[in-house]
Homo-oligomer: A and B are copies of this chain.
């Protein structure tokens, strides 16, 4: 709407430098569209080329960062092989934040959404108000409506943070129940499904 000065990038290098600094300061993943627009890439391919070039730079031995493409955008993180050293350096216990009840609840919400607390409790065979509250606080689930049954109970669904937390772009990246069964069937023994 408003007039927009097209910023001038002298060359590809400057675009990569900009990419690095933008991803460095942004707390959230940045949608590729915004970058394509701002960098003045004519075609998606030009942007993709830029990304690959940036990724290639990051692969160097003297680089500690990593370009992530998840949660519907681009963001930076440290390289996976820095994990142990970082834990060691900061003497941080960086382990799972989710308890088993929370993970089970999240599984149900992920595959059955939108779903009510009663339905979750029913599937888990235990009152699940604790894990639901915990997941709401962690912003991994949210209320997305109300079920049209007496009492109008809240319906829960997964959030964008859920995708980010598990490194997904999209819920469709989760395996289907059939795939899941196969995935476990091959390896796990004894098989539960014959």
Contact = CB atoms under 8 A, between A and B. Distances in A.
Interface in A12-70: 12-14, 16-22, 24-26, 34, 38, 57, 60-65
A86 interface: yes
Contacts of A142: 169, 173
A62 to B, nearest CB: 4
A191 interface: yes
Given A18-B85, A38-B89, A92-B38, A24 B65 contact: yes
> How many subunits of this chain does the assembly comprise?
2
Contacts of A96: 1
Interface of A: 1-2, 4-5, 7, 11-14, 16-22, 24-26, 34, 38, 57, 60-65, 76, 78-79, 82, 84-86, 88-90, 92-93, 95-96, 99-102, 127, 129-131, 133-134, 136, 142-146, 154, 157, 169-170, 172-173, 175, 179, 183-184, 186, 188-189, 191, 193-194
